[in-house]
Amino acid sequence: MGEGKSEVMQGTLDLMVLKTLYAMGPLHGFGIARRIEQLSQDVLQLNEGTVYTSLLRLQQQGSIASAWGTSENNRKARFYSITRLGKKQLEVETENWERFAGVVGRVLRQEGQ
Amino acid sequence: MRAMRGLQVFSARMRALFAQKRANREFDDELQQHLQLLTDRFVSQGMSRKDASDAARRQFGNTALLQQRQREARTFLTLSSLWRDLWFGARMLRKHPGSTAGVIAALALGIGMNACVFTFVNALLLRPPAGFKAPNELREIWEHSRHASGAGRFMPLSYPDYAFFRDHARTFSGILAYDGDPEGIIWNRSGHGQILHGQLVSGNAFSVAGVGVSLGRAFTPADDDVTQPKALVILQYNFWKQRLGSDPGILGKSIMLNGTNYVIIGVAQPGFTGFEVAMEPDFWTPLSMSEKLVHDPGRLTGRTTNWLLADGRLAAGQTTKTAQAEISVLARELELAHSDTNKDMGETLFTFAPVPGPFRGYVTAFTGMLMAVFGLVLVIACTNAASLLMVKATGRTREMAIRSALGAGRGRLIRQMTVESLLLSFIAACAALLLASLTSHLLLNLIPASLPISIELPLDWRVLVFTFMVALVTGVGFGVTPALRGTRVDPVQAIKAEAFSGSYHKSRLRTVMMVVEVAVCVVLLFSATLCVRSLLNASSIDPGFNTQNVAVATLDPGSLGYSDAKVDAFYQELTAHIRTLPGVSSSSYVKHLPLDTSREQTSVTDGSHAGAKPDGLAVDVFRVDPGYFKTMGVPLLGGRDFAQDERDRKANVIVVNAALALKLWPGQNPIGKLIAFGGEKEQAEVIGVVKTGKYRSLGEDPIPALFRMELPPRRVLVVHTLAAPGSVLDAIQREVQIVDPNMVATEVQTIGNFMSLPMFAARTTGLLLGASGLMALVLTWIGLFGVISFSVSERTREIGVRMAMGAGRMDVMKLIMRQGLFVTGIGLVIGLGAALVSARLLSSLLYGIRPDDLATVVVVVAGMTAVTMLACYIPTRRAMRVNPVIALRYE
C-alpha cells in the first residue's frame, strides 16, 4: 500500500463485479479483474483472489450464473454472466450506494467554522 | 428479499455437498489459469518469467487460504475437514496416552453406571413385554379406592367387575384379564410331583394381546365359559421345548395339574413369555378353571376378591381420554348397583408397560435416586476430564497461537477442541456399554432367589440412544470450557513468551472446578458411608430368631384337593420322617415366616374386661405348631410352649410376645391372663411369653404379636439342624416325596437365603451407594493429583526462586499441601452442607443410623483429608526435590 492506493471497501466488490458483468456481458474471472483494474486506473489495490470469493457468493445468491466456454487464447474457462435476479439486485444496490455516497459526500463537504 | 437470498444460498450449498470433488478441481483449474494469464501479461510487459510469476502471485493473494475459504463457503462443514479434525484429535489423544486413558476410564465409569441403571429403567418401565402386537394400543385397567392414597389405593379387578367391563366397554375392542399372582402348581408327572407355574387367563387373552401359537390353537371366549369350565391348557414354548422335548404330537394329550387332567390344545409362539414382566408361567388355562386349579372357592363370584389384572385394547379412533371417560361411567354404574362392595371404587387407566401401573412410582423413585447418585459420579468424572483438558489446553497455547496466526478462526479452533472432547466421550461411551452390561447382570444376582423373577436386560436401541446422548452432553459439557479458554489466545503474545500467559486466570478456574469436585465427592461419600453402616447395622439386627441353623420349605397339600384329615395325616407323617433325618434336632410348622411378605392381623382386648374397650389393639398373628419356638430359636421369657395334646384337642391357648404383654398388662405377669380376639366369642388363655422379634421389616419398632395354633393346609416347614442347614435341603424334598409322591415342597432353602428378602433393600442401597462413594473417592483423588501435579510443574520456576532465596524443603511442602488442603477445606464445607440435606432423602432406607450421624461426618472429613494428603504426596515430593539451579535455567 503506501503508494496512494486504497483497499477495496467491504461489500463494494460484489457491486463492482455485478456492474462489470452487466456492462461487459459474460466474462471469466481474469477478465473481470482486468476490467476493474482498468477502470480503477491503478487507484484500487485489488487482491485478485478475492474476486473469486465474490463470484462464489454472488453465484450462491443466484445473482450470476456460470458456464464453461472457450477463452480468447483458446482455453477452457468459466464464464460468468448476470441473471435477472442479479440485474434487479444491481439496481437496488446501485441506488443504495448512490444514496450512501451522496450522504457521505455531503457530510464531508460541509465547511469548517 | 434477504430471507429468499438466504434460502438460495442454503440450497446452493446443499447442492454443492454432492459435487465437492469436481468443484474443488474446477476451482483449482480456474485459479491456475488466472495466475497463468497474469504471469503471461507481466512477461509481455517485459518481466522475466520468474519475476512475472512472483508478481502474479503477489497480486493474486494467498491461494491456499483462498482455496480453503472457498471450500468452506461453498458448502457446509465438510466431511473431509471433520475427518481431518477427528484424525488430528486422535493423534493429540495418543500423544498423552496416560491422561487420555484416565479421562476415558473416569468417563466410562460415570456413563457406564448411568447406562446400567438405565437398562433397568428400560426393562421395567419402557420396553413393552415381548410378543405383543401393537402394545401402544393397550391400557391397563385398575380399580382404585377414592379415599385412599399412595400405590396402596390401586387394586386388581374382581371377576364380576372384569366381566362387566369386558361386556360393556365400547371404547375397547377387547379387554383381557389374567391372574396377577400366579402360584406354584403341582404337575403329577407319572406319579411324581413337580412344581410348575401356571397362569389363569381370560378366553380372549391371546386374541386381544395379538399373541399367536406355534402349535394347535389359542383359547377362544367359548373355552372360558364360567358355567361350563373346560380343563384346557396352552403351554409356554420354552416349557414345551425343554421339559417335553418339543414333542410334536403333544396336542390332545393330557397333563395332570393339582389333581385334575387338562387337555393340551396349543403351544404359544416362541418368544412369548407371559403377560407381565419377570413372571414366566409354564402354562395358561382359562379363568373359568380357577376354582378347580387353585381350590379357592368364590374367585369367580366374589366382588371383593380382587385378583385380576386387566389390559384393554383401544378400539380404532379411541384415546386414553375417551376410554377413561367410559370406564369411569361404567364404574359409577357398578357403584350404584353394588353399593356394599363397590362404594367409592373408581377405575384408572395406565399405559401398558412391563411393571404394573401403580407400582411404577416405586421403581421410578428408586431408579431415579440411583440415577441421581451416579449422575453425581458422572459430574465428578466430567470435572476431572475438564480440568485435565484445561491443563492440556494450557500446554497447547503455543499450538493454538500458531494455528490462529496461520489463519484459523477462533470458531475453527473451538471446533477442533470440541471434536477432541467428543472423541473422548464417545470412546468412553463404548466402554460404558460394556461396563453396563456386565454390572447389570451382577445386580440381577442381588434379587432374592425366592422371588420367581427373571428380567431380561437387553442393550436395545433405547439404551444405546441414552448412552450416546449422555456421552454427547458430557463431551460438550466438559469440553466447552477448556475449548473457550484454550482458544482465547493472542498469537503475538503467546508465541513471544509462552511462560506465564494467563495462567493465573486459568488456575483460578481450575481451583473452582476442584472445589466443586470435592464438594460433590463429599455428598456421595457421606451417603455411601451412611448406607454401608446401615447395611452393617441391618446385618447385625437381631430378628428374634435363629438365622443360622434353620432350613425352611413351603408345602400346600390343599392344592391337590386333599381333605383336612388327609392334610393332617400328611403333615404328621412328614414330621415323623423329618425328625429321623441325621443332623435334625427338631421341626415344626408355621403358616408364614416372620419378615415374609404375607401377614395376618387381628385386634385383641384384655379378656378380663371384654366389651369395655370396643376398639382392640392391632396385633400380628402367627399360627404355629408345638415346637416352633424351640426350632426357630425364639427365646421363651416365661410360661411354656404349646403341648401336643393342646393341639390335638384345639385348646384355646396362646403365646404372646413381650411387646403385647407390656401393652395389655404392664407390670403384671401375663401367664394365665385371658385375651379376647376381635370377632371371636371365645377367649384364649396366655400360656407363655416370648421375646419380641422383627415381624414385618428389620427396621421396625417392637410390634405386639401373638402365636396361636390351627394351621391352614398351606404351611412352612421349619427344621432346626445341628450343622449347616444346606445339607438337609435335598433330604427334605426327598422325604416329602417319600411320604406322598404327588407332593412337592417349594422354596426349600436355608434361613440365610430366606433373609436375603428382608435384607434386599439394605443390601442393594449399601452396595450401590457404597460403590458410588468409592468411585467418587478414587476419581476425586485422581483429579486432585492431576491438578496439583500440574500446578507444581507450572510453579517449578517459582519454587526454584523461593529455594534460591532460602526457603527450606518444609516450606515448599507447606506451600503445596496448603493449596490442596485449601481446596479440600472449602469443598468439605460446601459438600457437608449439601450432604446433610440430601441424606434426609435416604432416611427411610437407613437402619439404626440417623441421616445426620456425627460419626459419619467425622469419617468423611478424615477420609477426604487423607485422600487430599495422598494426592498431594507425590507432587509435593517432586516439588521438594526441585534443584533451584536447574529450575531457574529451565526456561
pLDDT, position B612: 45
Which amino acid would we find at residue B567? V
Q: How confident is the model at residue A2 (pLDDT cuts 50, 70, 90)?
A: very low
From start to end of B609-692, where are the E strands?
617-623, 636-639, 653-657, 674-677, 683-690
Residue B501, pLDDT score = 42
Helix (H, G, I), strand (E, B) or coil at B562: coil
Q: Which of B116-130, B573-587, B597-611, B718-732 has the lowest mean pLDDT?
A: B597-611
A10 within a domain of the structure (yes/no): yes
Confidence at residue A30, expressed as pLDDT on a 0 to 100 scale = 86
Span B843-868, pLDDT tens digits:
877 888 888 888 889 999 998 999 88
Q: Which pLDDT does position B500 carry in this prediction? A: 46
> How close is the nearest chain A Cα to the Cα of B211, in Å?
57
Contact B30 A48 (CB under 8 A): no
Name the residue of chain B whose CA is nearest to A88's CA. Answer: B1
Neighbours of B463 (CB within 10 A): 24
Residue of B nearest to A54 (CA): B70
Flag whether pLDDT at A51 surpasses 80: yes
Distance to chain A for B86, nearest Cα, Å: 28
Measured between CA atoms, how close is A101 to chain B, in angstroms?
22
DSSP per-residue letters across B677-697: ETT-S-EEEEEEEE----SS-
How many Å apart are CA B387 and CA A49, to the nearest integer?
43
Of residues A28, A61, A73, nearest to B9 (C-beta): A61
Task: Give the separation between CA B376 and CA B771, rounded to whole angstroms.
Answer: 13
How far, in Å, are B21, B554, B720, B731, B750 from residue B582 at the CA level?
87, 21, 11, 10, 17
Q: Which of B26, B33, B74 to mutate to test the interface with A (most CBs of A within 10 A)?
A: B33
Q: What is the mean pLDDT of residues B765-769?
A: 85
Confidence of residue B552 (pLDDT cuts 50, 70, 90): very high
In angstroms, how far is CA B420 from the centroid of its own chain? 32
Which has more pLDDT, B486 or B869? Answer: B869
pLDDT in tens, B780-833: 888 888 888 877 877 777 888 888 888 888 888 888 888 888 888 999 999 999
Whether residue B119 has pLDDT greater than 80: yes
Q: Give B491 to chain A, closest Cα distance, Å.
A: 24
Of A47, A75, A76, which has the smallest distance from its Cβ to B61's Cβ?
A: A47
- What are the domain boundaries of chain B? 2-76, 82-127+360-501, 135-353, 512-543+755-891, 550-752
b/e per residue B513-538 (b: at least 16 CB within 10 A): bbbbbbbbbbbbbbbbbbbbbbbebb
User: What's the rounded mean pLDDT across residues B71-92?
Assistant: 70
Q: What percent of chain B has pLDDT over 90?
A: 24
pLDDT attached to residue B507:
67
What is the pLDDT, as a whole number, of residue B832? Answer: 93
Rounded-to-integer distance, Cα B17 and Cα B12, Å: 9
CA distance B231 to B219: 11
CB pairs < 8 Å spanning A and B: 61
Q: B213-272, pLDDT tens digit by residue?
A: 999 999 999 999 888 889 999 999 989 999 899 999 999 999 988 888 999 999 999 988
* B708-763: pLDDT as tens digits: 998 888 899 999 999 888 889 999 989 998 998 888 888 889 998 888 888 887 88
Maximum average pLDDT range among B294-303, B480-489, B612-621: B294-303
Kindly tell me if the per-residue pLDDT of B680 is higher than 90: no
Supply the pLDDT for residue A1.
36
pLDDT tens for each residue of B821-838 = 888 899 999 999 999 988
Name the 3-class secondary structure at A65: strand
Q: Which residues contact B309 (CB under 8 A, 6 or more apart)?
A: B140, B156, B157, B177, B178, B179, B180, B275, B276, B356
Rounded Cα distance, A104 and B632, in Å: 104
Cβ of B66 within 8 Å of Cβ of A53? The answer is yes
- Is the predicted pLDDT of residue B391 greater than 80, yes or no? no
CA A75 to chain centre: 24
Specify burial of residue B539 (Cβ count, 10 A radius: 0-12, 13-18, 19+).
middle
CATH of the domain at A88: 1.10.10.10
Answer with the residue of higher pLDDT: B339 or B715: B715
Question: Has residue B690 got a pLDDT over 90?
Answer: yes
Is the CB of B73 less than 8 angstroms away from the CB of A53? yes
What distance in Å separates the CA atoms of residue B602 and residue B620, rounded to the nearest whole number? 7
Q: Which of A8, A56, A71, A75 to mutate to test the interface with B (most CBs of B within 10 A)?
A: A56
Q: Using DSSP, state whether B434 is helix, strand or coil.
A: helix
CA angle (A60, A63, A67) in 5-degree steps: 75
pLDDT digits (tens, 9 = 90+) for B139-159: 989 888 777 666 667 888 889
Distance of CA B665 to the CA centre of its chain: 47
> Of B12, B13, B61, which is closest to A50 when you measure between CB atoms?
B61
- Beta bridge pairs of residue B605: B676
Q: Is A8 on the interface with B (CB under 8 A)?
A: no
ipTM over 0.85: no
Tell me, yes or no, whether A67 lies in a domain. Answer: yes
The pTM (predicted TM-score) of the whole model is 0.69
Strands A64-70 and A76-82: antiparallel
Q: Is A52 on the interface with B (CB under 8 A)?
A: yes
Q: Tell me what pLDDT residue B111 has.
A: 92
Whole-angstrom distance, CA of residue B134 vs CA of residue B174: 14
Please give the pLDDT value at position B18.
65
- Grid look-up 461396563 returns B435
Highest mean pLDDT range out of B303-312, B320-329, B674-683? B320-329
As a whole number, the mean pLDDT across chain B is: 84
Lowest mean pLDDT among B271-280, B483-492, B790-799: B483-492
What H or E segment, with its residue span, contains residue B110? Answer: helix B97-121
User: CB atoms < 10 A from the CB of A45, how many?
Assistant: 15
For the record, the C-alpha cell of B291 comes out as: 376354582
- Asked if B59 lies within 8 A of A75 by C-beta distance, the reply is no
Cβ neighbourhood burial of B582 (10 Å; 0-12, 13-18, 19+): exposed
- Number of residues in chain B: 891
Neighbouring-strand partners of residue B53: none
Say if CB B271 and CB B131 are below 8 A apart: yes
- For residues B292 and B229, is the Cβ–Cβ distance under 8 A? yes
Helix axes B97-121, B461-487, angle to 10 degrees: 140
Tell me: pLDDT of B441 over 80: yes
pLDDT for B626 equals 94
Q: Judge contact between B177 and B157, C-beta under 8 A.
A: yes
Identify the H or E element spanning B346. Answer: strand B345-351
User: B881 versus B642: which is more confidently predicted?
Assistant: B642
- Residue numbers of A between 12 and 51 with CB closer than 8 Å to B: 28-30, 33, 46-50
Can you tell me the mean pLDDT for B20-38? Answer: 81
Q: How far apart are CA B735 and CA B851, in angstroms?
A: 49
Q: Is residue A1 part of a domain?
A: no
Answer yes or no: is pLDDT of B573 > 90: yes
pLDDT of residue B606: 81
| pLDDT at B3 (0 to 100) | 61
Q: Which residues of chain A have a CB within 8 Å of the CB of B29? A: 76
Domain total of chain A? 1
* Residue ranges making up the domain that contains A90: 6-109
What's residue B152's pLDDT? Answer: 64
Top pLDDT among B650 and B597 is at B650
Q: Do A49 and B30 touch (CB under 8 A)?
A: no
Of the ranges B250-259, B360-369, B615-624, which is most confident?
B250-259
In the predicted model, is pLDDT for residue B78 greater than 60?
no
Tell if the CB–CB gap between A60 and B60 is shorter than 8 Å: no
Residue at grid coordinates 415346637: B627
Asked if the structure places residue A39 within a domain, the reply is yes
Instruction: Yes or no: say if B549 and B725 are a contact pair by the CB < 8 Å rule.
Output: yes
Q: Find chain B residues with C-beta within 8 A of A33's C-beta.
A: 34
pLDDT over threshold 50, residue B642:
yes
pLDDT band at B17 (very low <50, low <70, confident <90, very high): low
Instruction: Flag whether pLDDT at B83 surpasses 80.
Output: no
Q: Which of B27, B61, B407 is nearest to A59 (CA)?
A: B27
Q: How confident is the model at residue A3 (pLDDT cuts 50, 70, 90)?
A: very low
pLDDT of residue B692: 93
